Copies of this chain bind each other. A is one copy, B any other.
Amino acid sequence: MSKLKFSISMSTDGYVAGPNQSTENPLGEGGEELHEWAFVTRTFREMQGREGGETGLDDEHAKYWSQGTGATIMGRNMFGPIRGSWGDESWNGWWGDDPPYHTPVFVLTHHAREPLEMQGGTTFHFVTGGIEEALERAREAAGDRDVSIGGGAQAIQQYLRAGLVDEMVVHVVPRLLGRGERLFENLDGGPTGYECVEFVSSPRVAHFRFARKV
């Protein structure tokens, strides 16, 4: 059964991106540190077309967002820093010519744009009809496989508020950011109805997986 899921790194004080996000610093100040545990894994290096990297518990959990994933949804900020219309459409995403998704990616936006086919199986589709339309198209593209919300916090919050998320993994990192973008905010009293189905940690990070209570 196809699931809607996400997997995100979070500071101990609840932030998934640092303050002052910019083109030079898309994850905000201190935001990159939240992903250090993932950068050293084999899975992450493979996504980048590189060799080596650590295996083990963190590597298993780094796989979560891509394993079994047939389509990805992301908020516009995660595609790029441009606000308003797309201009000359020269912006092709933060991710280089061969983005790490290798699936169709549905970008939530208010501004229509033609699909953008990249190398390695990633095609960006720009969805102006809101989160339900994006989910419908992503499910169709994914078939039996899962749909993963790539981020950021606002896109995830929209799906949590709508009660559409089946499973989530939060990777809690031993750092305090103090400021930035929170994951569990603007949820109108949610998420409710989830239970922790897996909780393990390495010396670098604690992985919490929550699923809907059945």
Contact = CB atoms under 8 A, between A and B. Distances in A.
Interface of A: 12-14, 170, 172, 174-176, 178-179, 182-184, 187, 189-192, 194-196, 199-201, 203, 206, 208, 210
Contact of A12 (B13, B201, B208): B208
Contacts of A182: 14
Contacts of A187: 178
Nearest to A170: B12
B210 A206 contact: no
Contact of A172 (B12, B190, B191, B195): B12
Contacts of A183: 13
A191 B12 contact: no
Contacts of A192: 176, 178
Q: Is the interface of A mostly helix, strand, loop or mixed?
A: loop
A178 B189 contact: yes
Contacts of A174: 196, 199, 208
B13 A172 contact: no
A182 B35 CA distance: 24
Nearest to A183: B13
Enumerate the 7 nearest inter-chain pairs by beta-carbon distance, A residue then B residue, closest first.
A174-B196, A13-B184, A174-B199, A206-B206, A201-B201, A14-B14, A178-B192
Contacts of A190: 178
Contact of A176 (B12, B14, B191): B191
Contacts of A189: 178-179
